[in-house]
Structure 1
């Protein structure tokens, strides 16, 4: 199965945000290359909110280009077999934490937003940090920091706050 096929299946089985979910599916139907950065009208991306529920905190990255505190995430790559794989790869690369595991149940949220390269049709997962996890900043970040749940709204935009709320509800 291709990454494109996996994305369609994941989106068809996602039960929330019906109108936005359909917009993702419509985009993919109109753009067979819609999984890749080369699709300039927009492309599917995968992200992971790295969370440490035992300590009530999340790890956010200060994105180098956007200069915003965000969850880990980015473009799909040819070696990604599934959206979940892409999310976990991005989470691991940008957090520097090995051993992340995705929260069961598939994506937590969808978020479509415009970036300097194109529209991102982001499929958002949550990744659980293992006990004793130590983060390591990547070259894609200006900073990497743990925030208590109640601090997130003070540093991040509404999309990250909604992702955290949805993740906590799933927990």
Structure 2
């Protein structure tokens, strides 16, 4: 079910540029060749789901100082057996890692990011991350999970200097998306 949803999500997603289209095609090829391509056990690559959480005003984003990576990242991670959709996996990860209630996820990905994991249990593999935009309700009091050293809200246009470049790019896309389309309700 999750594998089929991932294929459908990626087939229906219109990539915003040639680089993202190349990644979209790569992800679809990966899924066509690997029935287990959604799971962390699939090597050397597997699909992951993450989310950039914005507050209700769209002016701040919630980032995690990831324990393993040691950098400010968006929330997200591996798909699990109970996940039925990619968006659902990203929403589950966001909720688990933030403790925020009533998060709302945009149905279509915001961007794709293929990156090599250099530490932890997936060292040496590539995450084929499908990144979504999630909006927090008025509640912004988070809970730091065991996967994080810290969580913090940052202005969407003033991220910490040690923020991963991929996250900086994701924030730029989110800011553009929020100013050109209605946020999910």
Q: TM-score range by the shorter chain?
A: over 0.9
Q: Deviations over 1:28-58 (max 9, x none)?
A: 1111111001112110000011101516110
RMSD (Å) for aligned C-alpha atoms? 1.2
Alignment equivalent of 1:113, drawn from 112, 115, 128: 115
Aligned residues of 2:38 and 2:46 also touching (Cα < 8 A): yes
Name 1:75's counterpart in structure 2.
78
CA distance in 1, matches of 2:58, 2:38: 35
Following TM superposition, the consecutive aligned residue runs of length 4 or more in structure 1 with deviations greater than 4 angstroms are none
Contact conserved, 2:46 with 2:127, CA < 8 A, in 1? yes
Give the corresponding residue for 1:9. Answer: 8
Q: Which residue of 1 is the match for residue 176 of structure 2?
A: 169
Contact 2:100 2:139 in 1 (8 A): no
CA displacement 1:3-46 (0-9 Å, x = unmatched): 00000000111111111100111111111111001112110000
Q: How many residues align?
A: 169
In the alignment, what sits opposite 2:54?
Answer: 51
2:38 maps to 1:31? no
Residue matched to 1:21: 24
1:76: Cα distance to partner?
A: 0.1
Deviation readout 1:87-135 (Å, 9 max, x if unpaired): 00000001110110013x5110000001141210000001101113211
| Distance in 1 separating the partners of 2:145 and 2:160 | 24
Unaligned runs of 5+ in 2: 179-185
Unaligned runs of 5+ in 1: none
TM (norm. structure 2) is 0.88
CA gap 1:154/1:3 in 2 versus in 1, 3 angstroms? same
Matched-pair contact (CA < 8 Å) for 1:153–1:161: no
Instruction: Give distance in 2, aligned partners of 1:112 and 1:131.
Output: 32
Give the secondary-structure state (helix, strand or coil) at the position aligned to 1:154: coil
